[in-house]
Amino acid sequence: MIKKTVAALLAFFALTCWAAVDVNTATAADLDSIKGIGPGTSGKMLEERKASPFKNWADLVQRVPGIGDKRASKLSAEGLTVNGEAYKPGSTASTAEKKPAKASK
C-alpha cells in the first residue's frame, strides 16, 4: 500500500513540474524557463504581446523575429503554448501563404 501511495505522489509531482507556459499570460521569468528562450527572445515576445495578444502560432511566428516553423516546434515540445494550444506543423501562415513562382517570358 505504501509503495502505491509513494508512486502516486511521485507521478503527481512529475506532472505538476511540467506545466505548459502560455505566451499570452507568461512573465519574462516564465518564458525564460523554457529551453530555447533567452532574455532577448522573451523580451521580443513581451513587446509584441503589448500591442495585442497572440491569436495562434501563425501570429506568433509572423510577429516575433527569429521564430520560424522549426523553432516553434522545438519551443512547443519544451512546453510553450499559444492560447493553450501546442504547435502543429504546417499551421503557420508562412507555410500557407507561399507565393507562386513567376513565369519566365
Start-to-end Cα distance in the chain: 79
DSSP 85: B
What residues are paired with 85 via a beta bridge? 82
Predicted local confidence at residue 3, as pLDDT: 73
CA angle, 88 then 70 then 99, to 5° = 85
Predicted local confidence at residue 95, as pLDDT: 42
d(CA 36, CA 73): 11
pLDDT (tens, 9 = 90+) of the chain, 105 residues, equals: 777 765 655 555 444 445 799 999 999 999 999 999 999 999 999 999 999 999 999 999 999 999 999 999 999 999 999 999 999 987 655 444 444 455 555
11 CB-side CA count, 13 A: 6
